[in-house]
Amino acid sequence: MPSIRYTKDHEYIRLEDDGAIVGITDYAQAQLGDVVFVELPTLGKRLSQGAEAAVVESVKAASGVNAPASGEVLDINHALEETPALVNEDPGGKGWFLKLKLSNPTELETLMDEEAYQAYVKTLA
């Protein structure tokens, strides 16, 4: 299974040895514009697939970030509290939102791989 999967709402989930990193895609951050605030979940919070995990506010709008898969919040990106613009600068790297301990890894099979996500984004143009 690919290590990164995507939702139609432009969240990504990247599998790592110690959990799964969740963030928004480059397409999503570009649509939002300059990110000015990020509200992150509390550690230990249990999230269901599709449930709101975080909130991102930009100069254009506020938007929910949904959990691509169910799990428990293991870590949050504290750097976003001081520098929310990291979401714009490096959405797939330093701009990540949270890390999950997956409770049902088979849910990842319902998400798109890189090729399918890129094809989906092209339909939005």
CATH number for the domain that contains residue 51: 2.40.50.100
Is residue 38 a part of any domain in this protein?
A: yes
37-42 own/partner pairs: CB under 8 Å, 24+ apart: 37/84, 38/80, 38/81, 38/84, 38/87, 38/97, 40/76, 40/77, 40/80, 40/81, 40/97, 40/98, 41/73, 41/76, 41/98, 42/73
Rg of the chain taking only CA atoms, in angstroms: 13
Is residue 107 a part of any domain in this protein?
A: yes
pLDDT of residue 17: 86
CB 49 within 8 A of CB 85: no
Is residue 27 a part of any domain in this protein?
A: yes
Is residue 30 a part of any domain in this protein?
A: yes
| Residues of the chain under the 50 pLDDT cut | 1
CB 108 within 8 A of CB 45: no
Is residue 96 a part of any domain in this protein?
A: yes
Is residue 36 a part of any domain in this protein?
A: yes
State the chain's mean pLDDT as an integer: 95
How many structural domains compose the chain?
1
pLDDT of residue 1: 46
Is residue 122 a part of any domain in this protein?
A: no
pLDDT of residue 125: 73
**Domain membership of residue 58 as a residue range:** 4-113
pLDDT of residue 52: 97
Give the C-alpha separation, 60 to 89, whole Å: 17
Is residue 124 a part of any domain in this protein?
A: no
